[in-house]
Amino acid sequence: MQLQGKVAIVTGGGSGIGEATAKLFASLGANVVIADWNEAEANRVANEINRMQPANGGAYAAKADVSSEQQVKHLVQQTITTYGFIDILFNNAAVVLPKELEDITELEWTRTIDINLKSVYLMIKYCIPEIRKNRGNIVNMASLNGLLGQRQNPVYSATKGAIIAMTKALALDYAKDGVRVNCICPAGVMTPLLEDWIGQQPNPTETIQVLVDMHPLGRCASTEEIARAVVYLASDSSVFITGVALPVDGGASLGY
Ligand SMILES: NC(=O)c1ccc[n+]([C@@H]2O[C@H](COP(=O)([O-])OP(=O)(O)OC[C@H]3O[C@@H](n4cnc5c(N)ncnc54)[C@H](O)[C@@H]3O)[C@@H](O)[C@H]2O)c1
């Protein structure tokens, strides 16, 4: 199998894209750490993986707020204690804050930046010594709005744009170690996060139609379709690819 014997950490693995990716990693033979601040959901996903075919990799649920340095350190230690090493880090956890800039409080700004961006810095800082040993790789979750912007989503867009820039910078720094760093940029993916954002729009029904129409392929992505792109970047299938921000967007970046 493509990821046989690998060890992967998936942040935000208790829901949506993280859940689908953790399950796909395991089905390809990896052992997966499901890192999420929602302990019940992390446990659910880990249990579901562990009930899958015995030939698959296993899963371990770790409760962690990845914006906390102390909790990230503990998460990495738990991973090493459980599985011994780290090959793949998928930095996926994030939250949305769909508000105009003038309506955002300083506390909301700081919290969103911490959850979406500081978490990526912390996870890489504490995982890279292990990833370097195995010449592994890092996949960061960005978004199409980090490339193109999005109305009424300035802080979230700023975090995703920063993740794209940081991915490219780190790809340069870690290339000498044989460690690749890439990110993916989905448009609409039907998950609790997107449903939450839709629910906060003035006209949710109209918003769903706008979402569908912005993808030339005529629909939002499924979580499994995004997971397949993550596996591509995390596996040897993309062995000569580093520093890319890959749109996985049904053509939405062609002009929405
Ligand atoms: N759904 C979309 O349309 C879409 C589009 C582009 C990019 N993305 C990105 O994909 C990623 C996953 O989004 P999703 O739609 O699957 O969302 P989701 O809400 O379904 O899942 C996010 C998970 O992250 C966890 N999480 C959030 N903050 C955390 C923290 N500080 N510590 C630990 N866990 C935390 C949540 O508990 C949840 O389980 C995010 O980075 C998001 O920005 C999503």
User: Tell me, what's the pLDDT at 99?
Assistant: 92
Give every CB contact of residue 203 below 8 A, 6+ residues apart in sequence. none
The pLDDT, as a whole number, for residue 201 is 87
- Residue 215 near residue 252 (C-beta atoms within 8 A): yes
Tell me the per-residue pLDDT of 152-171, one tens digit each, with 9 for 90 and over: 999 999 999 999 999 999 99
Ligand 1 mutation target, pool 9, 17, 96, 115, most atoms within 8 A of CB: 17
Q: Tell whether ligand 1 has an atom less than 6 A from the beta carbon of residue 90.
A: no
3-state secondary structure 126-147: HHHHHHHHCCCEEEEECCHHHH
pLDDT of res. 10 = 99
- Which one from 60, 83, 121, 156 is the annotated catalytic residue? 156
The number of the ligand 1 atom at minimal distance from the alpha carbon of 19 is 16
Quote the pLDDT of residue 55. Answer: 67
Strands (E), 155-230: 180-186
Distances (CA, A) of 120 to 30, 91, 173, 183, 252: 21, 6, 16, 12, 26
Predicted TM-score (pTM) of the model is 0.97
- Tell me, what amino acid is at 206? E
Measure Cα distances from 209 to 86, 108, 234, 242 in Å: 41, 29, 33, 35
- Residue stretches of the chain with pLDDT short of 70: 1, 53-55, 256
Q: Whose CA is nearest to atom 37 of ligand 1?
A: 38
Residue-wise pLDDT for 68-107, tens only, equals 999 999 999 999 999 999 999 999 999 999 999 999 999 9
pLDDT of residue 197: 85
Starting from the edge strand earliest in sequence, which strands make up the sheet with 180-186, in order? 59-63, 31-36, 7-11, 88-91, 137-141, 180-186, 245-248
Atom from ligand 1 closest to the CA of residue 66: 32
The answer, yes or no, to whether any atom of ligand 1 lies below 6 A from the CB of 92, is: yes
Give φ, ψ of 198 to 5 degrees.
-60, -45
Instruction: Please work out whether the CB of residue 95 comes within 6 Å of at least one atom of ligand 1.
Output: yes
Domains, the chain, ordered by start: 7-254 (3.40.50.720)
